[in-house]
Structure 1
């Protein structure tokens, strides 16, 4: 029997929910990109410009734009992103193509521990993995816990990376963080407050040891990541460093060792470092032998160097004689 008069014949879908799913036209599909496609396109653009770790940078920026963790992108590869999703990401990509460091774009950088997240901007250098070797060696040199209160000095603190990593790792330390730049100190103070370490990290403006109040017996350890790039090499640095990071924090003078030499002399001639305490210096490529000799010439004992992840001597240390 046919349908009642005047009633149109219609066929129900096999899946009743199918009628709730809108069909996407080819034009609409082309107006959207998947997470996978957008990461691939952006990585290619970055790589073509000579940006190191192009894929990693693309992931960082897309995760920030979408408000998710970077690892979340791996389970959303087929997620479609419309124009609204891509608008914010497009601006981040534009900044990275101008060679602005990802840390400045994001406004933060992890250092030494996953939960040590430092605010960074153009007032300070971007904390680097090489400096973590200095922190590790300094921590190894301290008396094992539990220990009496120890005093540490961080010279040229910048964002406060070394001072805050040491204070976070050991509750029995009081750290003085000194820098010649008031702008850098503002960043370090902010980081200390954010991390709840401002009661044990004191930020002081000064030129090397000038302006630093000394503990009665001297500091148990002194750390320094001073400018060590030779002046003639500054213009050959990567654009992210040369054009964006503070030049005063990079320029180490003709041989890169102007500030390192001054600090070694100041520590050797004064009472800032207790007998047996160690001075730790981050250095540049091919500077280890010269810095080791500077320490020996000023009667430092047990002078050693440590390699970074690239097997380059990156930290030199010597002890004040007992």
Structure 2
């Protein structure tokens, strides 16, 4: 038997020594996840002890974190926009920056649902289903199709929809972008791969080695996916529909130029909490806009 407070202290110190960026937070998350005990428990009952088997599970998680694996990958799930989402090796780990896309699209989705009685959403590269499911949870009259090329990702998205009680309004579809998509949608959303190929090696280990490369690699200049989306969306976007995409912090002008060249106009640009350009929204240009 070992004192839990000592295990957490030792975990924090080991993570700090090995260069983990947030050792105190990660130590707390690991201990809470494995033991089911909160920090309040430690304060109220500093004499709490755990058995050797539980301590061994903590140790295994610590070794994985020291190797660079993110804590939420170790746990197998992560919170996004208030939703607890399962992760898998085939899915990008959803991050707070992407909540900016959800927030930006919500007023449009609500307005369409109020006007038409339904808002049809297409989520390209759905991964865990994070964006689509967050929009569905917020707007009861919305329905969504989550598109991905990875069967593993689609399985994860479908499981998340089921766990959240949203399976009746979410459909997972295997498609290489628009190749297997034939309907019309009021909103097309995507957090596509936008890292230039040669920049991937410079990413943090937690991203480079644990997020699927397919979800990161945006081609030589990082913009391949935006060209595909702007080219393919015309036949799938309903009249008056909106496209919302997440972008890299320095890609606003380039992505805007791609969509404008394909016949769209920029309707809104949104920055994330760090002040970086993060989301662009487009509609098809009207004749007077062209």
TM-score normalised to the size of structure 1? 0.83
1:28 alignment partner in structure 2 = none
Pick from 12, 22, 28 the counterpart of residue 43 of structure 1.
12
Greater relative contact order (CA < 8 Å, ≥ 6 in sequence): 2
Listed as ranges, the gaps of 5+ residues in structure 2 are none
Q: Name the counterpart of 2:237.
A: 273
Tell me which residue corresponds to 2:210: 244
Larger radius of gyration: 1
2:92 counterpart residue number: 125
**TM-score with structure 2 length normalisation?**
0.91
**What's the offset of the Cα at 1:67?**
2.1
Kept after mapping to 2: 8 A contact 1:60/1:70 = no
The question of whether the paired residues in 1 share the 8 Å contact of 2:42 and 2:48 is answered with no
Q: Is 2:191 the counterpart of 1:225?
A: yes
Q: Does 1:141 align with 2:105?
A: no
Structure 2 CA distance for partners of 1:274 and 1:233, relative to 1, 3 Å: same
Which range moves more in the overlay, 291-300 or 237-246?
A: 291-300
TM-fit CA distance, 1:73: 4.3
Question: How far apart in 2 are the matches of 1:135 and 1:178?
Answer: 17
> How far 1:82 sits from its partner (Å)?
5.2
Aligned residue-pair number? 284
Counterparts of 2:121 and 2:141, CA distance in 1: 10
Contact in 2 for aligned 1:167/1:200 (Cα 8 Å): yes
Is the CA contact (8 Å cut-off) linking 2:109 and 2:142 kept in structure 1? no
Q: Which moved more, 1:56-65 or 1:295-304?
A: 295-304
Structure 1 gaps of 5+ residues are: 1-30
Superimposed CA distance per residue, residues 206-250 of structure 1 (whole angstroms, 9 cap, x where no aligned partner): 011111131xxx311110111111110111111111112111111
> Which structure is higher in helix share?
2
| Contact 1:63–1:73 (8 Å) recurs in 2 | no
1:317–1:104 distance in 2 versus 1, CA, 3 Å? same
Structure 1 CA distance for aligned equivalents of residues 251 and 102 of structure 2: 19
Q: Is the 8 A contact 2:226 2:258 kept in 1?
A: no
Aligned-pair CA distance for 1:143: 3.8
Answer yes or no: is the 8 Å Cα contact 1:32–1:82 preserved in 2.
Answer: yes
**CA-to-aligned-CA distance 1:141-174 (integer Å, 9 cap, x gap):** 2244645111011000001101111111111011
